[in-house]
Amino acid sequence: MNKPAILALEDGSVFHGTAIGADGQTSGEVVFNTAMTGYQEILTDPSYSRQIVTLTYPHIGNTGINPEDVESDTIAAAGLVIRDLPLVASNFRSTQSLSEYLAGQNVVGIADIDTRRLTRILRDKGAQNGAILAGADAEGDAAEARALEAARAFPGLKGMDLAKVVSCTETYEWSQGEWTLGQGYADGESLERPFHVVAYDYGVKFNILRMLTSRGCRLTVVPAQTSAAEVLALNPDGIFLSNGPGDPEPCDYAIAAIKAILETDTPVFGICLGHQLLALASGASTLKMGHGHHGANHPVQDLDTGKVMITSQNHGFAADEATLPDNLRATHRSLFDGTLQGIERTDRPAFSFQGHPEASPGPRDVAPLFDRFIDMMQRRR
């Protein structure tokens, strides 16, 4: 824990700190997340591919790492930035420390920097391309110059199609249900699952699949580039469009597939990137946000009921409400910045939500959206 590390931003800002995790170099878009808990779920969220995550809560690593609280098989974030890594991790489920976890997956991180200063830069200037150098050679002017060069060489996420990069490569069945203290994850094989749902994997989080399973869904997960014809041939009761990283506009394969699916009466539910892709397939546009939404405390209003929900968010792109066609209506809006958070087709059984309603990490206010999807499939029957 005494190796140096450097974080450099494209605007020339440089931070010196302590290396945590692996030695080496990484680059990506630097964003900040305001969640106070859930660092393990954040790190393994595929939506963070090619992003360096700054956690604004100062003490990260207190509860160590356990094999259950993961949202994918590997760490998805390009790097981690924190203020303080506690020397002792304490939790009855912990099996290793955060630093050991990062090192074991060859992920670079930096601690002992002023994350408040960094967050202000990202808040005021927007998400920055950046780079971390960690290890014995991360000292001196030459190291700073290398870090700055790497930060400025990163092309940025605009125009970057990452869904097909993080997606599964083969179709598979999912049967794991939600987690219960003392019991672990439910075995979906023992549950009644009357609905067959095909889930597009653009970077899907495990807990999204678990919540669908626990609500009676038999899940077939397909790669991002699977055609609509292949999916419809499986005769699903509903189709799910998952979360994922990167810019939605280059995902022409997904947009084409969703357009074809929307020609049928099959219920469709999208989350995060899936929400943006549904908007694009319906004729709307998307845009790159300044610093995006990353956290577990984002207020979102249901425009139909007026109810305000506290939500978990992770996205740097958004559907542009000003471009919605006549057959697409807004259902939810962020109370932080007014950006569009939910849409619904008026001519098809299709809807989507920008946040992460499975709340991993975060509050569970929006979980009823999964129930709405189930109701749509039941009505179709």
Residue 280 CB-density burial (10 A; 0-12 exposed, 13-18 middle, 19+ buried): buried
Q: With contact defined as beta carbons under 8 Å apart, do 335 and 300 qualify?
A: yes
Q: Is 356 a catalytic residue?
A: yes
For residue 145, give both structure tokens.
């110059």
Distance from C-alpha of 328 to C-alpha of 282, rounded to nearest angstrom: 7
Q: How would DSSP label each residue in 328-361?
A: EEEEEEETTT--EEEEEESSSSEEEESS-TT-SS
Distance from C-alpha of 285 to C-alpha of 296, rounded to nearest angstrom: 26
Catalytic residue among 272, 321, 332, 344: 272
Catalytic residue among 275, 294, 298, 356: 356
Q: How would DSSP label each residue in 150-181?
A: HHHH---STT---HHHHS-SS-EEE-EEEEET
Q: Is 149 a catalytic residue?
A: no
Q: Is 41 a catalytic residue?
A: no
In a 13 Å sphere around the CA of 89, the CA atoms on its Cβ side amount to 20
Mark 181-217 as b/e (b = at least 16 C-beta within 10 Å).
eeeebbebeeeebebebbbbbbbbbbbbbbbbbbbbb
Catalytic residue among 71, 249, 344, 358: 358
What is the sign of the dihedral through the CA atoms of 184, 187, 192 and 194? positive
- The DSSP element (H or E) to which 79 belongs, if any, is strand 79-81
Query: Which of 294, 273, 245, 360 lies closest to 54 in space, CA to CA?
Result: 294
- The DSSP element (H or E) to which 371 belongs, if any, is helix 368-380
**Residues in a beta bridge with 146:** none
**Residues in a beta bridge with 55:** 33
What positions carry a catalytic annotation?
A: 272, 356, 358
